[in-house]
Amino acid sequence: MNVTEVLAAVAQIGASLTIRGDRLLLSAPDKTRITDELRQGIQQNKPALLALLCSHSPDCHHTDAEIIDEFQRTGRIRLEYKNSTVWLVTKLECAAVLDNGTVYTLEEWTRLTSLSSDEIRQLHSLRTVGGPGGSLEVNREA
């Protein structure tokens, strides 16, 4: 089995693959549908599956250099924070292929540091892909 076949087999049985540290966890509603072939395919493709599924959460196995390299190669990076997906992109055009999460450019992300927690939550809800959209123009007139 290659990576594509593994992911198709996981989806076919209604299961999911998640990462915990450097481990892949297979969760299925019906464990009897998990075949030896699927287990072996996951084991054989573990490095590729880890790279593909990694969301760079706090227990991520990637080094800072690897994450920076990915960002430079693809123009985007996926992060997980409090069960939400956040995408950092070099330019908004890089977000065109995304189908979930909240998107920020690096410039916008930098501006977030000057906002209060309530302002960040409000902005974050507006920036969700498929949501109402929004911008990071903040007017702090008194």
Give the model's pLDDT for residue 142: 41
CA distance 26 to 34: 9
Q: Which among 102, 97, 98, 76 has a CA at the least distance from the CA of 88?
A: 76
Measure the CA angle with vertex 76, ends 68 and 70; round to 5°: 35
What kind and span of H or E run contains 26? strand 23-27
CA distance 26 to 124: 30
If one compares 69 and 30, the residue with the highest pLDDT of the two is: 30
- Summarised one tens digit per residue, pLDDT across range 34-55 is 999 999 999 999 988 887 777 6
Backbone φ and ψ of 16, nearest 5°: -140, 150
Sequence spans of domains, the chain: 3-53, 64-126
